[in-house]
Structure 1
Amino acid sequence: MQAFPHSTTATPTAVVVPPSLALPVIESAFPRQLHPYWPQLQEKTRLWLLEKRLMPAGKVQEYADGLCYTDLMAGFYVNAADEVLQAIADYSAWFFVWDDRHDRDIVHGRVGDWRRLRYRLHAALDAPRHHLHHPDPLVAGFADSVLRLYGFLPRTWNQRFSRHFHTVIEAYDREFRNRTEGYVPGVEEYLALRRHTFAHWIWTDLLEVSAGCELPDAVRKNPAFRRAALLTQEFAAWYNDLCSLPKEIAGDEVHNLGICLISHEGLTLEEAVDEVRRRVEECIRDFIEAEQEALQFADAIADGSIRGKELSTAVRDSVGNMRNWFSSVYWFHHESGRYMVDSWDDQSTPPYVTNEAVGEK
Structure 2
Amino acid sequence: MLEVKNIPKIEECFESSINPYVKKVHEDTVNWAKINNLMNDSNIKRYERQKISYLAGRSQPYDSYDSVRLSSDYLLLFCILDDYSDNLNNQKLYDIYSKKIIEILNERAFYDDDTFLYAWHDWWKRLSIGMPDEWKKRIIQSIQNCFNSIKWEIKNEKEKYIPTLEEYVNHRMHSGSVFVCFDLIERGGRSFIPASSRSILLRNLINSINKIVNWTNDLLSFKKEFENDEIHNLVIILQKQENCSIETALDRAKEMLNIEINTFIELKNKVFISNEPFDSGMIKFISRLENGVRGHYEWSMKTKRF
Give the TM-score normalised by structure 2: 0.90
Which residue of the partner structure matches residue 121 of structure 1? 101
Q: Which amino acid aligns with 1:202?
A: V
What CA distance in whole angstroms lies between the structure 1 residues aligned with 2:87 and 2:3? Answer: 31
Which residue of the partner structure matches residue 46 of structure 2? 63
138 and 251 in structure 1: CA distance in 2 versus 1, 3 angstrom threshold: farther
What CA distance in whole angstroms lies between the structure 1 residues aligned with 2:274 and 2:28? Answer: 37
Conserved 8 A contact 1:125-1:162: yes
Which residue of the partner structure matches residue 333 of structure 1? 300
Question: 1:128 Cα deviation (Å)?
Answer: 6.9
Query: Secondary structure of the residue that 2:162 maps to in structure 1?
Result: coil
**How many residue pairs were aligned?**
306
Aligned counterpart for 1:218 among listed residues 196, 200, 225: 196
Q: Which amino acid aligns with 2:78?
A: F
Q: Which amino acid aligns with 1:332?
A: W
The C-alpha deviation readout for 1:120-142, integer Å capped at 9, x for no partner, is 223223227723x241x332222
CA RMSD of aligned residues (A): 2.3
Verify: 1:313 aligned to 2:289, yes or no.
no
Aligned counterpart for 2:265 among listed residues 288, 291, 294: 288
Conserved 8 A contact 2:49-2:303: yes
Q: Which amino acid aligns with 1:263?
A: K
Which residue of the partner structure matches residue 78 of structure 1? 61
1:133-144 aligned within 5 A: 133-135=112-114, 137-144=115-122
Which residue of the partner structure matches residue 197 of structure 1? 175
Tell me the percent identity. Answer: 21
What CA distance in whole angstroms lies between the structure 1 residues aligned with 2:203 and 2:99? Answer: 31
What CA distance in whole angstroms lies between the structure 2 residues aligned with 1:225 and 1:152? Answer: 25
Structure 1's unaligned 5+ residue stretches are 1-17, 303-311, 340-361
Which residue of the partner structure matches residue 277 of structure 2? 301
What CA distance in whole angstroms lies between the structure 1 residues aligned with 2:65 and 2:25? Answer: 8
Query: Secondary structure of the residue that 1:130 maps to in structure 2?
Result: coil
Which residue of the partner structure matches residue 237 of structure 2? 260
The C-alpha deviation readout for 1:9-50, integer Å capped at 9, x for no partner, is xxxxxxxxx984422233344231111221211111111221
Aligned counterpart for 2:17 among listed residues 33, 37, 62: 33
Give the TM-score normalised by structure 1: 0.78
What CA distance in whole angstroms lies between the structure 2 residues aligned with 1:129 and 1:87? Answer: 21
Conserved 8 A contact 1:243-1:333: yes
What CA distance in whole angstroms lies between the structure 1 residues aligned with 2:229 and 2:125? Answer: 35
Aligned counterpart for 2:35 among listed residues 28, 34, 51: 51
Question: 1:297 Cα deviation (Å)?
Answer: 4.5
What CA distance in whole angstroms lies between the structure 2 residues aligned with 1:21 and 1:40? Answer: 28
The C-alpha deviation readout for 1:168-205, integer Å capped at 9, x for no partner, is 21221111111111111111011111112123432222
What CA distance in whole angstroms lies between the structure 1 residues aligned with 2:242 and 2:188? Answer: 40
Verify: 1:166 aligned to 2:144, yes or no.
yes
What CA distance in whole angstroms lies between the structure 1 residues aligned with 2:134 and 2:205? Answer: 23
Query: Secondary structure of the residue that 1:50 maps to in structure 2?
Result: helix
